[in-house]
Amino acid sequence: MGTVHESFHQRGLIRPRQGRVLGGVCAGLGRRFGLGPWTARLVFVLLLMVVPGSQFLIYPVLWIVMPDEAFPPPAPSGRWEQPAGN
C-alpha cells in the first residue's frame, strides 16, 4: 500500500512548477481536470463559498498532500527513487 503522495501522483494530482500563484493547488487541480489555472481557481473559490471558512482547511490540506512536480515520481516497486546526481 502506497503513501498519500504516491496515490495523488498516480492520479495526476500534482502541484506544477508553472502557473502557481501560492502553492500550485488550483493549478494542479486545473491540470488534472483539463481546466486552465484561472478557471480552476474560480471554480475552487465558488465551491468553497458554499461552506464559508472551509478554504482555510481544504487548501492547506491539499497543499500538504499533493506532491510537488519537482518531487521524483514513485518507482514501479512503490518506493521513491533517489534523484540522479545525489
pLDDT tens for 4-59 read 767 777 777 778 777 777 888 888 888 888 888 888 889 888 887 887 777 778 88
- Does a structural domain hold residue 60? no
Q: Looking at residues 77-85, what average pLDDT do you find?
A: 54
- Does a structural domain hold residue 30? yes
Whether the CB-CB separation of 72 and 80 falls below 8 Å is answered with yes
Kindly report the pTM of this predicted structure. Answer: 0.65
Q: Is the pLDDT at 68 greater than 60, yes or no?
A: yes
Whether the CB-CB separation of 65 and 6 falls below 8 Å is answered with no
The parent domain of residue 9 ranges over 1-48
- Does a structural domain hold residue 2? yes
- Does a structural domain hold residue 73? no
Q: How many domains does the chain have?
A: 1
DSSP 81: P
- Does a structural domain hold residue 5? yes
- Which carries the bigger pLDDT value, residue 62 or residue 71? 62
- Does a structural domain hold residue 71? no
